[in-house]
Amino acid sequence: MIQVIKNPAVETWDSILKRPVMDTTRLFATVQPILDAVRDRGDEALLEYEQQFDHVTLDALQVTEAEITEATTKIPHQLKEAISQAKRNIQKFHEAQEDELPYMEVIPQVRCWQKRIPIQKVGLYIPGGTAPLFSTVLMLAVPAQIAGCEEIVLCTPPDKEGKVYDAVLYTAHLCGVTKIFKIGGAQAIAAMAFGTNSVPKVNKIFGPGNQYVNAAKQLVGLNEVAIDMPAGPSEVAILADSMARPKYIAADLLSQAEHGVDSQSVLFTVDEELIDQVLVELEVQLDLLPRKDLAQQALKHSKIIYIPKIEDAIRMINEYAPEHLIIMTKNYTVVAERIVNAGSVFLGDFSPESAGDYASGTNHTLPTNGFAKAYSGITLDSFTKKISFQELSRDGLMMLSNAIEIMAENEQLTAHKNAVEIRLERIYREDEDDLSWRH
């Protein structure tokens, strides 16, 4: 069951907060031949790998319009409504991020500005397996569509009959995905990175996956395409005091644990009495879960940490840098102001992680494995790039010329200095001509 740790010394924090994560670099030797085969043999290699890894023989890799229509008719009305509501909220939150740096004069006659440009071709990887994540289609395709990406390519593993999960197809179609392919694993990442006869080469790849998918993303990210962020197993941290409800805490710990055996749930509490109450609730609720076995495995490397002072608990959480953080304390807004490392934060009794996973509007594609110290989760910016512009008038260049020339000279970049001087010569010559004409 879950490990309980009480009042740990600061020097032990690093070992306590260690994730149950496999070093994906150890998989590079396994994944690289797959990438090479797809790069060299394209669709032929993809079809072979689909048979080898997903145990399905396919005639074609791309999902047809007929398959999308069939999936749409099979989706229950209530699920369609739920997906639509979630899409509206996600769309509203991400549309609010459409800001551009306005024109500004940094000094008179020197104008600078930025323009937001959509990434032209993006690839989305949607895991299949035990829980096909159609919600991740929303989280990736909605901002891609808002950003104006010209081509949105989606890869997801098919089942043994060669079918893609109906809700994945329906949601992808609803969110403007342009092409859907029945490809899973490292071979899907290779297909989008290199391009094949069937699969377009993309400029950036998004989406979670298993350790082989993440290893493939890291490898293609070195030379071929951009990737969204490094990724590891999903995780949640909860900060609770005596005001927190044990039932809510147990439910949230288990909602993370049911993702998979390598997920991690960590409770930080300043109330020692809360621990036994949460342990009881975990036992009760665990028995009711269809994915009980998965959750049990995840709980074996999950933790409850009692730490008496709230200041120390906040420090420890910032050191852990969780993907998801739920704060159930009396003054949760005050506590939240002191959080500097987390992917997404959920405040109060009525903000379960499930809300952000599905329908509150924020994005659930977030940095894991401590990368929240340096990475943000997916936003509209993830699907765009920004180009800087500047326009100097002749007077603007004259005002900056001395600084530019001195800096260039001191960096021993003579051509940089000359690029200014040659323009100044023209300006001085024109001024002299103007003066002689006036006389």
Binding residues for NAD(+): 125, 187, 210
* Distance (Å, whole) CA 154 – CA 298: 29
Cα dihedral 157, 211, 304, 283 in deg (nearest 10): 40
Binding site, annotated residues for substrate: 234, 256, 259, 324, 357, 411, 416
Q: 239 by DSSP, 3-state: which?
A: strand
Q: Say which residues have a Cβ less than 8 Å from residue 255's Cβ, sequence separation at least 6.
A: 236, 352, 353, 354
H/E stretch holding 348 reads none
- Binding region: 125, 187, 210, 234, 256, 259, 324, 357, 411, 416
Q: Which residues contact 310 (CB under 8 A, 6 or more apart)?
A: 241, 270, 329, 335
C-alpha distances (whole Å) from 229 to each of 34, 209, 347 are 21, 12, 25
Residue tagged active-site, from 324, 364, 391, 430: 324
| Residue 173 appears among annotated catalytic residues | no
Placement of tokens 């439910």 in the chain: 251
Active site residue 323: yes
Catalytic annotation, pick one of 323, 364, 430, 432: 323
Q: In which residue are the tokens 């377009």 written?
A: 200
Measured distance CA(313)–CA(426) in Å, rounded: 65
Catalytic residue numbers, as ranges: 323-324
